[in-house]
């Protein structure tokens, strides 16, 4: 097989991965209009047939791909940075050839939106450069990509809106509105009810439960009249109790724990009294607000978006650091989804989160399992919701919020417990048969006096609680993987005696942008001692395609899907990667389980780079000598010697 052919096959594998294999044709097009245009598209400009490596149409977008094996033949630019349009460059360079074909198609057909993609190299070292061509032949260079996932049938329209038009998608506009609503409700809870930060999400979740009773006719917003005999809070409280009963939340002690958290709704005088500026009680105002702006989104959403978690996160961001004091770090949705993909969640798994917070991991896991189950398989879907999700939360109010979140998602009998996970016997938990563990433990709570609260100790207890051969992922500070203290080092040794480390993924430092945590994901197999010859993956995924936007928070950029797909391809050995992204190596418990510990630069510097570095050094040395600082270059750098 020639080098060019191997590149063609690798590119075709990428196309198949993005489900584009049947939409893209090699050496021509199955679209008559494009095929006619290519009959005169020779790169030599002789008027003969032109044969791009791949051409296809996705929705109303044309995709044209040109490949070269040698990365030195990726793109030819002029001295002023323009893509050269001369025949030799079009013929010999991937990007130049792709742009030529795309502009020819734009000129000779009625297609108005064309992506020219130049590819060079192989799966390990390569460049993939997309360029957008419009119907007038104008072009826009776009950021490099690693896969074709952005051009799939599901993603290409969103990619076009975000990258080419540079506009927000409907999804982003909706998220912006959700965050704006969260801020507004936060302020209203403070201004009209003087509600403490910790109690705000309890009021939100309680009202959302009460609103479920509107579907059964036992509660209506109109019934909230500000009556002083039966207050609005009592009516909402009664509706909450009815809904928990309807949802079959048991045992009674669990239901009573939840109801005790909602006492604030009926016992807080200020939110039950008529407010002159509102013309109603604050409780009625909050209920109308939540019904119109939140409730329908949660009830009818099939997304794994943890909306209550989003609201809670926003409340905490305004709370003056209460969340940080409590060690609460809510997991972003893209991370909970990534957990499900790394652990290859299936519809038969039993998922356990021992520090479930608002229920984000459990919501994502349930969503992924239901996605793999037929809509008409009522028995299986009921089993997933009722028997295959298990969570523990120690904080009473967080437990109430997570239970509410799961009930709103259709989990009528939430398998959640309000208890201290670390005080439970792992062997007893193991009898529940959970084979998947997900964990974002409390941060920075451990010490020599409270060794069980170290994140790595929490991790070990989770692994001990899963069945043999189970899969687990934890998101923890990078420091947890280094073994700062003797206790943590001993726990790492203990983990490897009983369990297997599969790998560690360094994440974007802004993943928890409000908390200043540098996080990583560690993936394990439970109950199988670590083989000393096993090679683990250590990945640098700091550049994940997410960034912090002012007044919004962490947002997804157009490159995020592509970068995640590349991560998954490397993780599951579908492609090879450079050491700067992934190092595979044997480990020891005394190692720092991080990419930076094992990474070495495998790239040989070019002669030009070597000469430049020597030149820079000599220039620096001459400058120091001229400034009478030649002492810097003796053996010890000591002027007095």
Q: What is the pLDDT of residue 323?
A: 44
DSSP 437-496: EEE-PPSS---SS-GGGSHHHHHHHHHHHSPTT-EEEEEEEGGGGTT-SHHHHHHHHHHH
Q: What mean pLDDT, rounded, does the chain reach? A: 87
- Of the three residues 282, 300, 318, the one that is the final residue of a domain is 300
Strand, coil or helix: 553: strand
The encoded tokens of residue 389 equal: 């999700």
Tell whether 446 is covered by a domain: no
Domain identity same for 143 and 177: no
Alpha-carbon span 442 to 431, nearest angstrom: 25
Q: Taking residues 243-272, what's their average pLDDT? A: 89
**DSSP category for residue 214:** G
Q: What is the pLDDT of residue 325?
A: 41
Alpha-carbon span 492 to 205, nearest angstrom: 39
Q: What is the phi/psi pair of residue 462, to 5°?
A: -65, -45
Tell whether 610 is covered by a domain: yes
Alpha-carbon span 261 to 258, nearest angstrom: 5
Report how far apart, in Å, the C-alpha atoms of 395 and of each of 256, 390, 581 are: 15, 16, 38
Domain identity same for 73 and 112: yes
Q: What is the pLDDT of residue 324?
A: 45
Closest to 363 in 3D by CA, of 295, 315, 298 = 298
> Going by DSSP bridges, is the β-strand pair 351-353/139-141 parallel, antiparallel, or unpaired?
unpaired
Pick left, alpha or beta for residue 331 (phi over 0 → left; psi -120 to 50 → alpha; otherwise beta).
Answer: beta
- Model confidence at 641, in pLDDT bands (50, 70, 90)? very low
Domain identity same for 16 and 77: yes
pLDDT, tens digit, 9 for 90 and up, residues 313-341: 555 554 433 444 444 567 888 999 999 99
Closest to 127 in 3D by CA, of 288, 7, 2 = 7
Tell whether 385 is covered by a domain: no
pLDDT, tens digit, 9 for 90 and up, residues 91-135: 999 999 999 999 999 999 999 999 999 999 998 899 999 999 988
Q: What is the pLDDT of residue 329?
A: 64
Higher-confidence position of 465 and 635: 465
The encoded tokens of residue 342 equal: 């790394």
Tell whether 378 is covered by a domain: no
Domain identity same for 131 and 174: no
Alpha-carbon span 115 to 131, nearest angstrom: 6
Domain identity same for 176 and 218: yes
Domain identity same for 108 and 200: no
Q: What is the pLDDT of residue 625?
A: 76
Q: Using a pLDDT cut of 70, give the percent of the chain over it.
A: 88
Q: What is the pLDDT of residue 320?
A: 39
Q: What is the pLDDT of residue 620?
A: 73
Pick left, alpha or beta for residue 545 (phi over 0 → left; psi -120 to 50 → alpha; otherwise beta).
Answer: left
Q: For residue 117, what are the domain limits?
A: 3-164
**DSSP category for residue 197:** G
pTM score of the predicted model: 0.82
Pick left, alpha or beta for residue 412 (phi over 0 → left; psi -120 to 50 → alpha; otherwise beta).
Answer: alpha
Alpha-carbon span 607 to 319, nearest angstrom: 56
Place of tokens 């650091």: 321
Domain identity same for 176 and 151: no
Is residue 522 within 8 Å of residue 459, measured between CB atoms? yes
Domain identity same for 177 and 159: no
Tell whether 468 is covered by a domain: no
Q: What is the pLDDT of residue 311?
A: 58
Q: Taking residues 543-557, what's their average pLDDT? A: 85
Domain identity same for 40 and 176: no
Alpha-carbon span 265 to 202, nearest angstrom: 9
Residue 296 predicted with pLDDT over 70: yes
Q: Per the structure, how many domains does the chain have? A: 3
Domain identity same for 152 and 203: no
Give the H or E element holding residue 565: helix 560-571
Tell whether 477 is covered by a domain: no
- Model confidence at 172, in pLDDT bands (50, 70, 90)? low
- Model confidence at 310, in pLDDT bands (50, 70, 90)? low
Domain identity same for 150 and 35: yes
- Of the three residues 244, 268, 300, the one that is the final residue of a domain is 300
Tell whether 400 is covered by a domain: no
pLDDT, tens digit, 9 for 90 and up, residues 481-523: 998 888 999 999 999 999 999 999 999 999 988 777 899 999 9
DSSP 340-401: HHHTT--TT--EEETT-TTSHHHHHHHHHHHHTS-TT-HHHHHHHHHHSEEEE--SHHHHHH
Residue 383 predicted with pLDDT over 80: yes
Three-state SS annotation for 61-119: EEEEEEEECCHHHCCCECCCCCECCCHHHHHHCHHHHHHHHHHHHHHHCCCCEEEEEEE
64, HSE (Cβ side, Cα atoms, 13 Å): 31
Q: Taking residues 601-622, what's their average pLDDT? A: 72
Q: Using a pLDDT cut of 90, give the percent of the chain over it.
A: 60
Place of tokens 């599901």: 154
Residue 222 predicted with pLDDT over 60: yes
Alpha-carbon span 151 to 157, nearest angstrom: 8
- Of the three residues 300, 325, 345, the one that is the final residue of a domain is 300
Tell whether 91 is covered by a domain: yes
Domain identity same for 190 and 153: no
């Amino acid at each position: 097989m020639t080098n060019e052919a191997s590149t063609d096959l690798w590119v075709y594998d990428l196309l198949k991965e993005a489900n584009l294999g049947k939409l893209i044709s090699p050496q021509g097009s199955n679209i008559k209009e494009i095929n006619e245009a290519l009959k005169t598209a020779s790169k030599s400009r002789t008027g003969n047939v032109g044969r791009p490596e791949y051409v296809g149409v996705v929705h109303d977008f044309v995709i044209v791909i040109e490949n070269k094996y040698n990365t030195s033949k990726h793109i030819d630019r002029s001295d002023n940075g323009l893509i050269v349009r001369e025949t030799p460059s079009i013929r010999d360079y991937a990007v130049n050839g792709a742009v030529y074909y795309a502009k020819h198609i734009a000129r000779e057909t009625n297609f108005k939106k064309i992506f020219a993609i130049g590819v060079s190299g192989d799966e390990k070292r390569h460049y993939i450069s997309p360029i957008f061509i419009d119907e007038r032949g104008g072009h826009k260079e776009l950021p490099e990509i690693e896969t074709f996932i952005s051009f799939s049938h599901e993603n290409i329209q969103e990619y076009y809106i975000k990258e080419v038009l540079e506009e927000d998608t409907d999804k982003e506009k909706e998220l912006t509105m959700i965050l704006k609503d969260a801020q507004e409700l936060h302020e209203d809870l403070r201004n009209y009810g003087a509600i403490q930060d910790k109690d705000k999400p309890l009021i939100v979740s309680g009202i959302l439960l009460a609103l479920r009773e509107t579907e059964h006719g036992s509660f209506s917003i109109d019934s909230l009249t500000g009556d002083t005999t039966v207050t609005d809070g009592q009516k909402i409280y009664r509706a909450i109790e009815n809904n928990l009963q309807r949802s079959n939340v048991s045992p009674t002690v669990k239901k009573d724990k939840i109801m005790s958290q909602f006492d604030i709704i009926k016992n807080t005088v200020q939110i039950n009294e008529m407010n002159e500026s509102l013309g109603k009680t604050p409780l009625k105002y909050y209920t109308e607000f939540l019904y119109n702006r939140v409730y329908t989104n949660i009830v009818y959403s099939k997304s794994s978006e943890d909306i209550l978690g989003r609201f809670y996160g926003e409340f905490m961001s305004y709370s003056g650091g209460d969340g940080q004091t409590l060690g609460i770090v809510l997991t972003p949705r893209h991370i909970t989804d990534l957990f499900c993909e790394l652990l290859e969640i299936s519809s038969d798994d039993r998922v356990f989160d021992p520090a479930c917070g608002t229920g984000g991991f459990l919501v994502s896991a349930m969503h992924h399992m239901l996605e793999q189950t037929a809509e008409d398989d009522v028995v299986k879907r009921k089993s997933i919701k009722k028997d295959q999700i298990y969570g523990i939360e120690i904080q009473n109010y967080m437990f109430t919020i997570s239970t509410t979140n799961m009930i709103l998602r259709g989990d009528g009998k939430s398998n959640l417990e309000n208890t201290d996970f670390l005080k439970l016997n792992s062997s007893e938990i193991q009898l529940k048969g959970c084979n998947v563990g997900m964990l974002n433990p409390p941060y920075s709570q451990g010490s020599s006096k409270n060794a069980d609260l170290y994140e790595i100790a929490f991790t070990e207890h989770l692994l001990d609680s899963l069945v043999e051969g189970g899969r687990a992922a934890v998101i923890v500070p990078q420091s947890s993987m280094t073994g700062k203290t003797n206790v943590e080092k001993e726990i790492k040794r203990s983990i490897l005696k009983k369990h297997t480390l599969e790998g560690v993924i360094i994440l974007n430092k802004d993943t928890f942008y409000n908390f200043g945590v540098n996080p990583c994901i560690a993936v394990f197999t439970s109950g199988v001692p670590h083989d000393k010859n096993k090679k683990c993956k250590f990945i640098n995924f700091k550049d994940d395609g997410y960034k912090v936007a002012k007044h919004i928070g962490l947002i997804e950029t157009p490159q995020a899907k592509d970068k995640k797909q590349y991560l998954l391809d490397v993780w599951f050995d579908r492609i090879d990667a450079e050491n700067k992204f992934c190092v595979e190596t044997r480990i020891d418990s005394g190692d720092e389980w991080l990419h930076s510990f094992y990474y070495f630069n495998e790239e040989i510097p070019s002669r030009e780079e070597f000469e430049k570095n020597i030149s820079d050094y000599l220039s620096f040395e001459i400058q120091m000598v001229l400034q009478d600082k030649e002492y810097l270059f003796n053996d010890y750098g000591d002027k007095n010697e």
